[in-house]
């Protein structure tokens, strides 16, 4: 593609992706499938790779999430809440592993594989063991204060089992059965249906009436520590997850720590086949470097950590419910 043509296409893609981001992240009401969004984003990334001088700091390729809604109190994330790089094939996973081995000089890397829960990323702050605040990811630096809504999640402890001060991150979600129940009620009332469990969870948590959130049985899995005081810092991600669980926080049991990328692929293959058996939706597998010192060394790009990647399940395997209409994509 000629430069002038590429420049024009980049502009079109940015305008479209910005609109889709706004619908998805701010309004919780998407108008295109995730697969379509991912296809357009991949095209933008390819063009920006060919013409790096056309990359701008406000391109959707380097921006996280969406602006916080104005009617929520804002919460600054002391450690940014970023997005994840995507892998769509085993070749992409091999490239990820090769890059990490090259940067670290190690022959083999230990990885933690986790389910990629399709919900809303949240951050929780506990002070001396007591939950004091909960926030959305927002644009990664500033989120929305949704403490009262998060407190309605029954599986989220208001008090930890030890007096630690920590910021913990996770994914709030709506189990499939609960999503179906809510949409049945909405249908009976003649109200617009939620497009999918992810939007239903986000819509429930990002509204001002905690009574509404309490009527919906939301759930949460915690998957990472932002910062922590009062306990010795773990050396591996595996130890962090064990610690969260020991503190009384809910960690997804379907996780493994493996040596090398081949075992990662086995885990991915297993869940590609079995994900429909879960009581909640997942849209992929998150693969994270286990050694926290190595993570520090690898660092971050503007949008995501270099030590993790999200393998997204192929779209044709899934069924997307968009605006109440079931579409096989």
Positions annotated as catalytic residues are 116
Q: Is 144 in the site for ligand NAD (CB under 6 A)?
A: no
Stretch that binds ligand NAD, among 15-23, 176-184, 205-213, 234-242 (CB under 6 A): 15-23
Is the Cβ of residue 5 or residue 76 nearer to ligand NAD in the bound state? 76
Using CB under 6 A, pick the residue from 28, 30, 44, 59 that binds ligand NAD: 30
User: Which residues, including other chains, have CB under 8 Å from residue 211's CB and lie 6 or more apart?
Assistant: none
Helix pair 176-188, 197-205: axis angle to 10 deg:
80
Q: What is the dihedral of CA 162, 163, 165, 168, to 10 degrees?
A: 20
Q: Provide the total of helices (H) and of strands (E) in the chain, helices listed first.
A: 10, 13
Distance CA 227, CA 252 (A): 20
Using CB under 6 A, pick the residue from 10, 28, 34, 47 that binds ligand NAD: 34
Q: Is 195 in the site for ligand NAD (CB under 6 A)?
A: no
Q: Is 286 in the site for ligand NAD (CB under 6 A)?
A: yes
Binding track over 294-313 against ligand NAD, x by CB under 6 A = ----------------x---
Q: CB-hemisphere CA count at 13 Å for 203?
A: 20
Stretch that binds ligand NAD, among 27-35, 105-113, 229-237, 271-279 (CB under 6 A): 27-35
Phi and psi at residue 34, in whole multiples of 5°?
-60, -35
Is-contact 120 255, C-beta < 8 A? no
Q: Is 117 in the site for ligand NAD (CB under 6 A)?
A: yes
Site residues (vs ligand NAD, CB under 6 A): 20-21, 23-24, 30, 32-34, 37-38, 64-65, 83-84, 86, 114, 116-117, 121, 137, 171, 223, 286, 310
């Amino acid at each position: 593609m000629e430069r002038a043509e590429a420049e024009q296409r980049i502009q079109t893609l940015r305008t479209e992706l910005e609109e889709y981001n706004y619908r998805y992240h701010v309004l919780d009401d998407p108008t295109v499938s995730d697969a379509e969004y991912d296809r357009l984003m991949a095209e933008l990334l390819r063009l920006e790779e060919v013409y790096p001088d056309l990359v701008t700091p406000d391109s959707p390729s380097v921006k996280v999430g969406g602006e916080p809604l104005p009617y929520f109190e804002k919460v600054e994330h002391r450690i940014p809440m970023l997005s994840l790089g995507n892998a769509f094939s085993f070749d992409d996973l091999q490239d990820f592993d090769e890059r990490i081995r090259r940067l670290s000089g190690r022959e083999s890397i230990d990885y933690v594989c986790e389910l990629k829960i399709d919900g809303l990323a949240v951050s929780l702050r506990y002070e001396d063991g007591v939950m004091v605040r909960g926030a959305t990811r927002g644009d990664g630096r500033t989120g929305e204060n949704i403490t009262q809504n998060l407190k309605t999640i029954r599986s989220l402890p208001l008090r930890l089992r030890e007096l630690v001060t920590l910021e913990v991150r996770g994914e709030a979600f709506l189990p499939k059965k609960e999503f179906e129940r809510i949409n049945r009620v909405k249908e009976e009332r003649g109200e617009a249906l939620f497009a999918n469990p992810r939007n239903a969870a986000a819509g429930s948590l990002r509204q001002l009436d905690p009574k509404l959130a309490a009527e919906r049985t939301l759930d949460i899995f915690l998957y990472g520590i932002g910062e922590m005081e009062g306990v010795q810092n773990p050396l591996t991600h595996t130890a962090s997850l064990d610690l969260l669980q020991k503190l009384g926080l809910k960690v997804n049991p379907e996780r493994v720590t493996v040596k090398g990328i081949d075992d990662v692929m086995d885990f991915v293959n297993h869940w590609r086949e079995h994900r429909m058996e879960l009581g909640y939706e997942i849209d992929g597998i998150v693969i994270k470097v286990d050694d926290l010192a190595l993570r520090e060394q690898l660092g971050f790009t503007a949008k995501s950590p270099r030590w993790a990647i999200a393998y997204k399940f192929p779209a044709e395997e899934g069924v997307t419910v968009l605006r109440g209409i079931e579409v096989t994509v």
